[in-house]
Each structure stands twice: as C-alpha cells, then as structure tokens.
Structure 1
Amino acid sequence: MQRLSLATLPTLPDAVRRPAYDPRRTTTGIVHLGVGAFHRAHQAVYLDEILATDSQWAIAGASLRRPDMRDALAPQDNLYTVAFRSCEGAQLRVIGSLKTIHVAPRDPESLLAQMCDPAVRIVSLTVTEKGYCHDPATGDLNPAHPDIKADLAAPRAPTSAPGLIAEALRRRRDANIVPFTVMPCDNLPSNGATTQRIVSQYAALLDGALARFVEGDVAFAGTMVDRIVPATGDSDIAEITQALGVEDAWPVVSEPFGQWVIEDRFPTGRPDFAAVGAEMVSDVEGHERMKLRMLNGAHSTLAYLGYLAGYQTVSQTMSDPAYETLVRGLMSEEVMPTLHMPGTDLGGYREALVARFHNPALQHRTWQIAMDGSQKLPQRLLGTVRDRIAAGAPFERLALGVAAWMRYVTGTDEAGAPIDVNDPLADRLRAIGDAAGRDPERLAKAYLGIGDVFGHDLRDHPGFNRAVTAALASLLTRGAARTVADYAHATH
C-alpha cells in the first residue's frame, strides 16, 4: 500500500480534510520541543489552520529522546492524520504544519542551528512535566537531574529542554539575533514563569550574564492547553489507514474539543492565534489552575482508582455510577471552592468535563494517564489540598486520590499481578512499597516522606496524614471499587 504523502494527498477520499495550502511553500517560524501525540493533535492543528493565510509559521519539531517519530513521518513528507472521535463517529484531517523533525540526542547541532534561525520567533514545548528536569514540589530546577548534569558537562551540545533553550538563547545573543519567545504548553503551575525560572537557574550554573539575559530580555508566554489525546494503538493505525486508502504510519486520535489560552507576550511577532480560536489574555494563571485542578486532578484520580478496580479506560471507569458521583463531588465540593474566577461558569465546565470523560470513542487508557504520577501530583492534587487546609475545609476525596497513587505505585494490583509503573521515581517507589508492605501507616508515612513530591508541609500535617492513611487502609483491605462507593456517598 502507498504511504500518505504530498504525492498521494489528491487520492484521499473527499471526506478527509487536507491542508488548504501547499506545505512546500511554507517557512519555519516555530520550533517545537517534544513533538508527541498531544502537540500533533493540538498546537499543530491550530497552526495548520493559520498556514492557510499566513505561510511563515510552519513548525520544526524536535524529539528529545528517540528517532521514532522522525522515522515514521519523514517518508510521509511529515504529513499525518488526526482522527477526531466522538459518539457520532470520526472526522479525519491531514495536517501539514510540521515541516521537519530533529532528533536532539542524534544531532543537537542541527536543532540548535534551527533554533538560531532569525525566522524562528517562537520555541514552544510539550515535554511533559518530567521534561523540565525540575523539583515538582518547588518548581525549581533540579541540578542533580541526570539530563542537567550531562548538559552542564557539555553545554554546547545539550539535549534537555532547559539546556537547549539556554544554549540557543546564548548563541542568538552572541550573534545579535533577537531572542525568541518561549511558549511552554505543559501542565505546570504558572508555566511561563516556571519555565523562565528553570531556564534562568540552569543558565546561572553556567554564566551569570546569560542568566540575567534570560531573566531580563527573553519573553516567556504562559499557556493553558486542553484536549484529550489518547495514545495511538495498532487498531487506530489500521482503521485510519483503511479509511484513507493509503498507509499513515503514525496518526493521532483526539476528542473534538480543544482549548488554547495564551498570554500575549510575543515582542518579535506571532501568528494570529485568535483568528483560529485561541484566547489571548494578559494572564493565564486562572485558566491554568482551573484546568489543572478540575480536569487533570479528576483525570488522575479516575486513572488510579479505575486501574486498581480493573477498568482499562476512562469511559469504562465513568460508566460505574459511584466513580461518576465521586468525581462530581471532588470537583464540586473540594476543587471549585479553591478557584476564584468571576464570570466563569465552573459548573458548566464541570458538566462538560463529565461528558468528555464519558466519550467511549476515545479509549483513553487509565494506565496512560497514571504515568509520571510523582511529577503530576503536586500540580493536579496537592496544590488544591494546600488551599483546602489553609481554608480549614475538608479534603477527603483529594486524599483518596493521593492514596490511590500510593496504592498504584506499590507495583502490584488487587489480583496480585504486577503493575507497569511508568514513573521517573519508579524504582524508588517500588522499594518503598516493598519495605512497608501492606501496613497503611508505614506505607503512607514513607511515601509522604518523598520531599520532592510532598514537600515538608504536607509530610508533617497531621490531618493530611490521617486522611491519606485512612483512604490507603481502605484501598488495601476493601479494594478500589468498594472504597470509591463509600467515598462517593459519604457526607464530608
């Protein structure tokens, strides 16, 4: 079978949407670090729309780990398909905004040269929380991170996101090329300010003048991004290839809903994001907190508790009435009171999230959402816990979500089968679980002692300790499904 490519675009079925421009006539204006499924289903789709009227904003993608994506898409002229799935079926769209893909570990120099091109005015990121090489509890750079230590030893050939950004900015400064704007699109609190702090701290370990340049002369535009993008499976590839009539080696599956809120801080210019549905604001923090705590916090809670009960996808988990009741209560009674957003219909947002979680067409795996929990908990659940503690308000459902993470990372499910815990701290977490056994007090105390997740305040808070220990004890003795039923219908 032929591959998807510029040559085969005209052969696609009429129902398949394709680029409304010639990808060969575009120029690169954005370098994107972390060219994974989410970026290809979100930012790249917005840029595909923009390129129909403004050809200077094509994307040069960069993989910071493996060459898989480059190798899959290069024979396709970097074209790929997004399947927007809902209960009504799937709408297929071929995206042409990705012009090339670099592989940083293989050739950091070519990526840095691209980042130093004066035509590149934005460097954006979706490298996941762990890609920032930081301490999630504080938001500061972790200088002991292996990637940071490697980059500090060879700063002219970095491969981490902070190292690449700092080195490209140094080269642009020394060549009198205006700095690009850095636009993080990951789930970090105050992601613009956090990224600036991380890059500045990395630069300070090399050169104080470079750190001052990053702090004073480089714009960092915070964002809030929202779209549910499950991992692409073999069945997805087969189904999409059959619908296209040509082979697409790595398509993307997505829900139709998408949201992008962007701080308007682009001193050297930007695409007309607003013209394609993005919301330009002066401060993204409120939107960001709402999404992190309501969508991502609920998602993680559902993922751990759902996986433990044997549910493979979010929609399967939500089909259990007790889980839906729990997640509604979590958002309504424990999360929404911490959000202060006059004019925003938080109840409407909650109902939209519940409907999105129910979408059976997505097949969003609980295991996928459960990945990297040690990096996600501080943003998704623990910030809300701290606000509830400060307000003297209950937080039992939040504590249950934390306890479910602890139960999950012990590495053994309720049937005694091993769990593939995909987390930067996986070995440490498993060792803690093995040492503590099934004693909820020992287990909770040991996990709460991980300072780069919980800090010292939550570790030492008696009420939080009690709530987490009680939830963990129930999960260990009664199982996830019965525990969820208890918490869903309890009066808190």
Structure 2
Amino acid sequence: MKTLTLLNQQNLASLPAQILRPTYDRSELKAGIVHIGVGGFHRSHEAYYTDELLEKTGTKDWGICGIGLRSADGKIAKVLERQDYLYTLIIKHPDGKIENRVIGSIIDFILACDDPEVATDRMAAETTKIVSLTITEGGYNFNASGEFDFKNPEVKHDLANPGKPKMIFGYLTEALRKRRDAGLPGFTIQSCDNIQHNGDMTRKMLLAFARRQDPVLAGWIAQNVTFPNAMVDRITPITTPSDVQLLEDEFGMKDEWPVTCEPFCQWVIEDDFCNGRPHWEEVGAQFVPDVTPYETMKIRLLNAGHSVLGLLGAIHGHETIDGCVNDLLFATYLRRFMDVEVTPVLDPVDGIDIEEYKDSLLARFANPNIKDALSRICLESSSKLPKFLISTINENIERKGSTELAALVIAAWCYYSDKGTDKNGKKLEVVDEMKAELHKAAAETSRDKLSFLRIKPIFGDLAKQKGFTDEYIHMVDSLYENPDIARLMQALLFGWE
C-alpha cells in the first residue's frame, strides 16, 4: 500500500516540486484578519489573495484566523488543525491544465460555538484590524422589507446573553464592546458575500441589533467601524472525493479537504478601512470609490445565470453547470436572458465591456474541469433569487421590459419545490431554510395558480403584477402538463407552435 505524505507544516519541504507552497515564514505571522465562515469560497478567494500578498511582500501582519459559529464547522476545524491550517487549492483550467498550490495564509481556527468568549477575545485583540465574513445571504437576518428580523429566536437569545452569542451580529457587537472598553479603535468589517451593497447591509443589520442591545455602544460602532462594499467572484464548486483522490494518486499527498476552483478571480472593493488594510491591489484586487455597478453586473449576470441554469437544468436532468452550457439550447437560453432581460437594466461599468463580460461568463460556465453541481447552485434559492433574479424582474416590469424568460425560471422553481423530481421522475433534493413553506405553496398551484408567488418574503407584490402573472401562469400550466423543460425553452426562443 502506497505511503501518503500528510499535508502539514513539517512536510511542506518534502512535497513534489509541482506543488507550489508557501516560502514565507508562517511562524512569524500575526492574525490581522479574523474571518467568519471558512468555506470553500473563502479559501479560494480572500485566503488566496492574502497568500499571494504574503508570498510577494513578506508582510507579517496579515495572517488569517478563521472562526466557525456553528457545530457543523467542527469538521473543518479538526481538518485544518491536523494540517497546521494548510490546504491545497486545485485550480482547474478549461484546457485541462491543473495548478496545485498549498495556501498558508490561515494560521488559526476557533470553533466559536464551543467557547464564544475565545472568539470575541480574538476579534477584540489589538492585532485584529479586519473581521471579514462569508456567512451566505441567509446569515444577514433581514426580512422581506430589508429590515433586521428581531423575531428570530437566536436574536432574542443574543440580546439577552451578550457574552454567549449564537449569531454573527451578537459576536460582532460583543467584540466591539470589548475593544471600546479596552480603549482600542474599531475594526473594519469586510463582507465577502453575494449581496448588493454587502457592506451597507452589514452595517444596517449590525447597528439595528446593537441599538436594541446597547444604544451607546451602537453610537460608538457607527463612528469607529467601517463597512466597505465589495464584489467577489470565483467559481468554487464543492470539494469531491475525486479531488482528494487526485492529490493522492498524482502526488502521494494526503489533504483531507482541498478546494477546487476556476482560474478566474476578481475582487472589487471600496477603499474604506478604518484600521489599516493589506495591499491586496498588489496581487490583483481592484479598489474603487463605488462598487455598485460592478456588484450589480455580477449578481444580475453571473449569479442569476447560475440560478437560471440550475433550476431549468435540474428539471431537464442535467447535473452540472458545464453540462448545461455545453447543451446549445441552454447556452442560447442563458445568453438570450442576459441580453434581453438583464443588460437593459444595467448601468455602464467603468473599464468593463459588457458583451465581452457575458462572453467570458459562458466560457467560464463551460469549463469541463469545474464540475459545479446544479444541486449546489439550487441550495437556499429562497435567499438567493430575490437579489439575483426577482429584482431584475421588478425593474423590467417597471420599465415595461421583457420578463417571460425569467417567468419560466420561477415556474421551474415552483415545480422543483412541489414535485422534487426532474422530468424523468428522478428525485431532486431541496435544501432550503424555507423548504416547508416553498413546498406547501407550490403544492397549492393546482388550486391557486399564484400560490407560489404569494410567498411575500421572497416575491413581495409580484403576484399583483398582471402582465407577469399571465406569463407565469402560462409557464406553470405548460410545465405541469408536460415537464419537458426543453420544449418550453425552445418555444420561448423560437416561437410557440
């Protein structure tokens, strides 16, 4: 049996030469960044940029300490600890080239649910300059009106137990309380999630919570903490057993949790940091006065495009994004959606040719070596689609633009939530915090054609927009009569028979 080299600091020097690895002294790094939500995307994006910077400049102040808030983070905590917080980034190019690089920028990890005080102490430490977040769209705890949801039981717990929080805003508030009381300056809170104006939203939610818990502290936070908006982009599928096996077979290396990603990487950030920042611009990040047009473009085209392919493709029977895009019908449908329903509602973006950007998205989606599963794309659609797709529908309704391509996507989501199968009857798993509500509303469609659209936290008043509802009802009727999604896509693209 082949002996494998375990990935850890001691074994770095003995790894094959084809694997890039840190040459900087990790033992000298200080955790200037605390990151909450160490998933695959953080490890392919912010941690990657930071590793690049540490390698290029030799700075000692910008190591990363990861924090997991949930017991489910226990697995990554144990894996990273066993590997001295090292992991392999497997970058897969469309032409089959693969780059393997060990990332060394993460130097510690705290499982906060086991000891909240240790986590807030680390955030409150003088060395911490930035607390960054990838907590997914649902972690921001806002309701359909965009306001902080004080009905959440965990919010009620955190308000009453500031020293033992469960949610992100409880942790941030307690850490900032400790900094204020110690006479330290605030830290920058850097959102890396796919929410428009993610920094503004983080500020709004945090101050809402803090005002309810401690109005005086909330005033201090408003004056001493900054929340730069940012746009982040790198397609990062879920790690599969074959990714682990690749490293074992090719290099004899045992990495329990590598990360795979595409070569493309983008980070556009507003330069609004209150306590210093890394010079990420030296390794490709872009600092701008206003990130709004960049993030709107990305969310409405890339993220919405993923959802279009995910929902339609799942019902058709496709399993991956590249499988969809290499199907000419799906590629044509996505491009028509981008051209007809999204581009007209986008503002110009400085330095971006929108046609070239759309071309690049199709090429990225078609990468045959990034097997991005549609099951991942469809996760938590209730928190994604209001920002990615429904906002575009509403703007098109207002400007009397086209909405029928998006209407089919919403009808497909209804069918997906109701039947939970593709057109051939194969089971599709629905993973969503609102799963029960989605299924209940979708199952009422035979009685009330608009029951799905009446879920106000997701759709708002969309059920009252007659032009759109006429299109939607037609799509739903057609889909329930015959779930051959390709037939409906062809009809929209080339005309109804």
Pairwise TM-score range, normalised by the shorter structure: over 0.9
1:424 and 2:433 correspond: yes
Can you list the C-alpha shifts for 1:81-113, whole angstroms capped at 9, x where unaligned? 000002232110000000111112111111111
Distance 2:129 2:368 in 1: 39
The residue number in structure 2 matching 1:469 is: 473
**Is 1:391 paired with 2:395?**
no
1:324-378 C-alpha deviation (Å, 9 max, x unpaired) = 1110001111101111115421100000000001011010000100000000011
The corresponding residue for 1:262 is: 269
1:356 corresponds in structure 2 to: 364
8 Å CA contact 2:186–2:221 kept in 1: the answer is no
Instruction: Decide which of 56, 63, 66 is 1:58's aligned counterpart.
Output: 63
Q: Is the 8 A contact 2:8 2:82 kept in 1?
A: yes
Instruction: List runs of 5+ in structure 1 lacking aligned partners.
Output: none
Match of 2:218 in 1: 211
1:41 aligns to 2:44 (yes or no): yes
1:20 to partner: Cα distance: 2.6
1:232 counterpart = 2:229: no
State the AA in 1 paired with 2:371. Answer: Q
CA displacement at 1:482 relative to structure 2 = 1.6
Distance apart, 1:140 and its partner CA: 2.0
Distance 1:462 1:268, change over 3 A: same
> Which SS does the other structure have where 2:463 is aligned?
coil
Conserved in 1, the CA contact under 8 Å of 2:186 and 2:274?
A: no
> What's 1:131 paired with?
139
Q: Matched residues in 1 for 2:271 and 2:24: separation?
A: 27
Query: Do 1:301 and 1:404's aligned partners in 2 also have CA atoms closer than 8 Å?
Result: no
Q: Is the 8 A contact 1:18 1:95 kept in 2?
A: yes
Of 96, 112, 115, the match for 2:104: 96
Name the amino acid aligned to 2:33: I
> What are the superposed Cα offsets for residues 16-54 of structure 1, whole Å, 9 maximum, x if unpaired?
111131211111100001000000011100000111221
Q: Could you say what secondary structure the match of 1:178 adopts? A: coil
The 1:59/1:460 distance shift into structure 2, 3 A limit, reads same
Q: Secondary structure at 1:72's aligned position in 2?
A: helix
Equivalent AA in structure 1 for residue 149 of structure 2: N
The residue that corresponds to 2:314 in the other structure is 307
Q: Which residues of 2 match residues 315-354 of structure 1 at below 5 A?
A: 315-343=322-350, 344-354=352-362
Q: Which is further off, 271-280 or 20-29?
A: 20-29
- The alpha carbon displacement at 1:267 in A equals 2.1
Residue 68 of structure 1 aligns with an amino acid whose one-letter code is K
> Is 1:144 the equivalent of 2:151?
yes
The Cα shift of 1:164 comes to 1.2
- With normalisation by structure 2, the TM-score equals 0.95
SS in structure 2 of the partner of residue 110 of structure 1: helix
Q: Give the number of equivalent residue pairs.
A: 485
Checking the alignment, whether the CA contact within 8 Å between 2:441 and 2:455 is kept in structure 1 is: no
Give, as a single letter, the amino acid of the residue that structure 2 aligns with 1:452: P
* Aligned Cα root-mean-square deviation (Å): 1.5
Which letter does structure 2 place at the counterpart of 1:467?
E
* TM-superposed deviation, 1:182: 0.5
Deviation string 1:210-262 (CA, Å, 9 cap, x unpaired) is 22233333100111000000000111111123333220000000000000001
Which whole-Å CA distance do the structure 1 matches of 2:476 and 2:157 have between them? 38
Secondary structure of the equivalent of 1:205? helix
**Partner Cα separation in structure 1 for residue 343 and residue 153 of structure 2:** 38
Residue in structure 1 matching 2:117, options 89, 104, 109: 109
Of all paired residues, the percent bearing the same amino acid is 37
Q: What is the identity, as a one-letter code, of the residue corresponding to 2:20?
A: R
Q: What is residue 488 of structure 2 aligned with on the other side?
A: 483
Q: CA deviation at 1:427?
A: 1.6
Kept in 2: contact 1:58–1:98 (CA 8 A): yes
Match of 2:417 in 1: 409
Give TM-score scaled by structure 1 length.
Answer: 0.95
Amino acid across the alignment from 2:465: H
Q: What SS does the aligned partner of 2:253 have?
A: coil
Partner Cα separation in structure 1 for residue 357 and residue 492 of structure 2: 23
Is the Cα contact below 8 Å between 2:188 and 2:227 reproduced in 1?
A: yes
Determine helix, strand or coil for the equivalent of 1:24: helix
Are the counterparts in 2 of residues 409 and 433 from structure 1 also a CA contact under 8 Å?
yes
Equivalents in 2 of 1:232, 1:145: separation in Å?
32
Q: Distance in 1 between matches of 2:471 and 2:216?
A: 47
Shift of 1:411: 4.5
The alpha-carbon distance between structure 1 residues 96 and 335, as it changes in their structure 2 partners (threshold 3 A), is same
**1:29, 1:59 within 8 Å by CA — same for their partners in 2?**
yes
Whole-angstrom CA distance in 2 between matches of 1:262 and 1:183: 9
Contact 2:24 2:54 in 1 (8 A): yes
- Which ranges of 4 or more aligned residues in structure 1 deviate by more than 4 Å? none
Give structure 2 stretches of 5+ with no counterpart. none
Distance 1:359 1:420 in 2: 25
Segment drifting more, 445-454 vs 280-289: 445-454
Match of 2:438, as an amino acid? L
- The residue that corresponds to 1:275 in the other structure is 282
User: In structure 2, what is the equivalent of residue 163 of structure 1?
Assistant: 170
Aligned equivalents of 2:440, 2:154: Cα separation in 1: 23
